[in-house]
């Protein structure tokens, strides 16, 4: 794996943002809209409920910020691929001596940068506007951040593989895939509050123990280490399977000549 090639790919994606400032709007505008909506709902409920329930509602803001970590990591992989499609640069990338692992590493890093920009803005606005400090999670924020980011990368590879397989008609999956699982991973509510039949499915995703752990830390200041071990173990499985799926679909499209057709549509 060549660091020089990875850095060149990352620089190429960064040029897209610096030369087209409107692309930066997507990184800030939609997350802020979600934050303001949930922030206003939180303030409304706090003013019209007892103190204990009002403090419980703050979980919404923490969940919103952590959910965006997962979503932006997924977008970093999927949207970087689509950027190459939209700019007719896909063939140039895969004809060049770029290994698949180098290409994916570059998209992972782009996703990491997207997360940093979005989370800094959201963290600042939530602190100034709603007196919510995400750093109240203390050092637990680090494993929460890392686990959600890795899971987002896995979803990004799955999204990209599906788009490669089904063509540009499936581009909407770049945005839709994370929301397919959002109702199941207990972002805004506890697993025990979900229907009994769906609770076992919730624990099949690494995001579920992270959001459960977030609420536990905010409520008690501590959390069950089993949540972190479960999330890390599931992430290893998801990352391995997603990487295998991406490589398999990519090789299949190359052998069938679908990559050229896809890139020139």
What are the tens digits of pLDDT across the range 5-48? 888 888 887 777 777 666 666 777 777 777 777 777 777 776 76
**Span 149-159, average pLDDT:** 92
pLDDT computed for residue 239 by the predictor? 93
Task: Give, rounded to a whole angstrom, the gap between the first and last alpha carbons of the chain.
Answer: 31
DSSP 52: H
Residue 235: per-residue pLDDT: 95
Distance (Å, rounded) from C-alpha 18 to C-alpha 21?
A: 6
Where does the pLDDT of residue 154 fall: very low under 50, low under 70, confident under 90, or very high at 90 and above?
A: very high
pTM across the whole model: 0.84
**Cβ-contact 246, 161 below 8 angstroms:** yes
């Amino acid at each position: 794996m060549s660091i020089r090639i990875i850095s060149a790919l990352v620089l190429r994606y960064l040029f897209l943002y610096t030369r087209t400032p409107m692309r930066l709007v997507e990184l800030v505008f939609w997350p802020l809209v979600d934050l303001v909506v949930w922030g206003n709902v939180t303030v409304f409920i706090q003013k019209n409920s007892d103190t204990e329930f009002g403090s419980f509602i703050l979980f919404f803001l923490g969940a919103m910020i952590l959910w965006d970590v997962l979503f932006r990591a997924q977008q970093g992989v999927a949207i970087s691929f689509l950027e190459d499609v939209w700019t007719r640069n896909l063939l140039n990338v895969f004809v060049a001596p770029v290994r698949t692992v180098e290409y994916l590493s570059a998209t992972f890093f782009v996703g990491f940068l997207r997360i940093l920009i979005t989370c800094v803005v959201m963290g600042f606005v939530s602190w100034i506007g709603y007196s919510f400090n995400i750093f109240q999670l203390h050092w637990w924020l680090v494993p929460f951040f890392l686990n959600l980011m890795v899971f987002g990368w896995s979803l990004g590879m799955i999204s990209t593989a599906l788009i490669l397989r089904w063509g540009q008609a499936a581009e909407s999956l770049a945005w839709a895939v994370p929301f397919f699982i959002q109702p199941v991973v207990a972002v805004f509510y506890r697993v025990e509050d979900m229907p009994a039949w769906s609770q076992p499915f919730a624990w099949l995703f690494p995001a579920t123990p992270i959001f459960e752990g977030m609420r536990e830390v905010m409520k008690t200041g501590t959390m069950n280490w089993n949540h972190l071990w479960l999330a890390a173990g599931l992430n290893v499985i998801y990352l391995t399977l997603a990487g295998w799926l991406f490589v398999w679909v990519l090789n299949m499209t190359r052998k069938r000549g679908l990559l050229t057709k896809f890139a020139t549509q």
